[in-house]
Structure 1
């Protein structure tokens, strides 16, 4: 049986740090003092320090636009057509810049498959073909787009790459996870929805998966759908953009759901036997829920918490930022689990070990 490896992982973000500016803007939407106090308390608990965007922040929180490009004008946020134009303009640049960090050189000609995951934009010909053309890949490379699966799509992409390499051991798969979440900011005074939008940032990861005996060995995957949670995370196309709903009940349901299915997911192993944890940092409360649901030690999810603080939630790209950190710092023989959540409410899990 062919062992499949994640040989390399690189990551990239746009240059604009917008977290503070977006917090300041959100405050200007809240006239009620009690609502503002609640917002401040919850924003502080989020434990996010930086988020990045392809849009430059406005110079003042009281400006007529949230951003310097005047995309989010007060009282006139853009329609979906404008948001998709921005995705088509900015996504290829971030994707190509990130792939360049793999330093493929002449090895680019050896790439046989390209998989792209994104749930924040769409156009055709799309990112898959842009990567082939701008990264000097062969035109006959097989391309797959994974769209609208949400934050767990990176693990879906890794599973596809795993199947490809096992069936064709000479394959070399380029996996790109790109999300421009800040293109879907909505004008709202609803505290729950406002806080969910203030989690998200833009980011991209690029990975090389093959049978070459270097990096993280993929061992197996698990998919779980938590019953009765279908409407807790939704992501729908509307006239004013992609409309995200993230219920405040998500963490409690993740915690309870993991307690029920932990033995099945872990294959009757103990969570404490796994030394490396790459849990998608969808938010501080979600990491806390996983910690409680699997009875993990407080320091177990340190890598995920660092990514959350430094970048926020970048949807499908985020768990790859955590895996990048673990790939760089782990030692041979260490075993790990990558886990991410998305609409459904579904949990995608990948088990691995350091070669």
Structure 2
């Protein structure tokens, strides 16, 4: 049976580090007193140092932060149409950055047979898949697939699709792009839980090449695990004022409990401690703590995930690919790994792999 390999990964983030500007902007929207103090305490505990956005933050003379696109004006946040216009303008620019970093040779471009794109933060048509084909000069007959609105675990589903394609057609070469502009969906709110979810998210993009060439990370198997009675804890809905996220503070507790109960299903026949490489989607510090605690992992097991969280925040579907890129650079031949992402459901999408 043919094995599909993640041959290489390239990642990019916009140039504007907005983390500290956002903290001041968000604190100003919360009521003074307990809520604002608690928000700043959670900021200190977030383990995030940088987050990047397509929006350039500007400090006005009165100390009130705004952005160069005037997208977020207090009392006048944009509707969905304007947000989608921004996605159509800025998403292709970020995609080009990752595609250029992937450095496909002319021969590789000629051999690409499939393009898969994931995004849950914007859409337009012709879309990113069409733009990729044009930018790289791919065969106009390349097969294109869009995986939309699946949230943070969509990258694993894209790799699953690429895996099936390569196993069915061994000469196939699949280009996968995961792109999210999460900062496009900030809402004007005084709700502390909602504001804490905005504290996590950032923009980012990953491009990957998957083929039967035995180079990089070999894909072994996939498993989807849905945590019962948690579908209300993570929701993502299109509303008049953009995409509206609900991310409950109960998610880490449920993940930790699920990992204790079904961790043996994720690594069948093996103890999780026998897995050399962990690429866990850094949905937040508490999520990583929950996985580590639930599976009984060593404190250094999730270092690549914690490093990505600190340097980039949560970029939804692109984030686990940033972690896999780090692992791809550091992995030694024969090491066994597990990738894992969480999203609406609450569902854990997992992938076992090995270093070629």
Do Structure 1 and Structure 2 share a fold, with TM-score over 0.5?
A: yes
Aligned partners of 1:262 and 1:30: how far apart in 2?
Answer: 39
Comparing 262-271 with 170-179, greater Cα deviation is found at 262-271
- Segments of structure 2 that go 5 or more residues without pairing to the other structure are none
SS state at 2:9 partner:
strand
Deviation, structure 1 residue 268: 3.1
Residue aligning to 2:13: 13
Assess, with a 3 A threshold, how the Cα gap between structure 1 residues 61 and 134 changes in structure 2: closer, same or farther. Answer: farther
Output one character per residue of 1:215-270: Cα deviation in whole Å (capped at 9) or x when no partner.
00000000000001000000000000000110000000000011111111211310
Residue aligning to 1:161: 162
Assess, with a 3 A threshold, how the Cα gap between structure 1 residues 19 and 62 changes in structure 2: closer, same or farther. Answer: farther
Q: How does 1:305-344 map to 2 (within 5 A)?
A: 305-344=306-345
Aligned partners of 2:282 and 2:317: how far apart in 1?
Answer: 11
Residue aligning to 1:300: 301
Assess, with a 3 A threshold, how the Cα gap between structure 1 residues 64 and 70 changes in structure 2: closer, same or farther. Answer: farther
Residue aligning to 1:119: 120
TM-score (norm 1): 0.98
Residue aligning to 2:100: 100
Aligned partners of 1:79 and 1:257: how far apart in 2?
Answer: 37
Deviation, structure 1 residue 39: 0.8
Residue aligning to 2:35: 35
Contact 2:253/2:290 (8 A) holds in 1: yes
Aligned partners of 1:69 and 1:129: how far apart in 2?
Answer: 26
Residue aligning to 1:66: 66
Contact 1:5/1:214 (8 A) holds in 2: yes
Contact 1:21/1:61 (8 A) holds in 2: no
Residue aligning to 1:199: 200
Residue aligning to 2:257: 256
SS state at 1:101 partner:
helix
- Segments of structure 1 that go 5 or more residues without pairing to the other structure are none
Aligned residue pairs, count: 355
Comparing 273-282 with 50-59, greater Cα deviation is found at 50-59
TM-score (norm 2): 0.98
Contact 2:30/2:189 (8 A) holds in 1: no
Residue aligning to 1:131: 132
Contact 2:336/2:355 (8 A) holds in 1: yes
Deviation, structure 1 residue 105: 2.6
Comparing 94-103 with 274-283, greater Cα deviation is found at 94-103
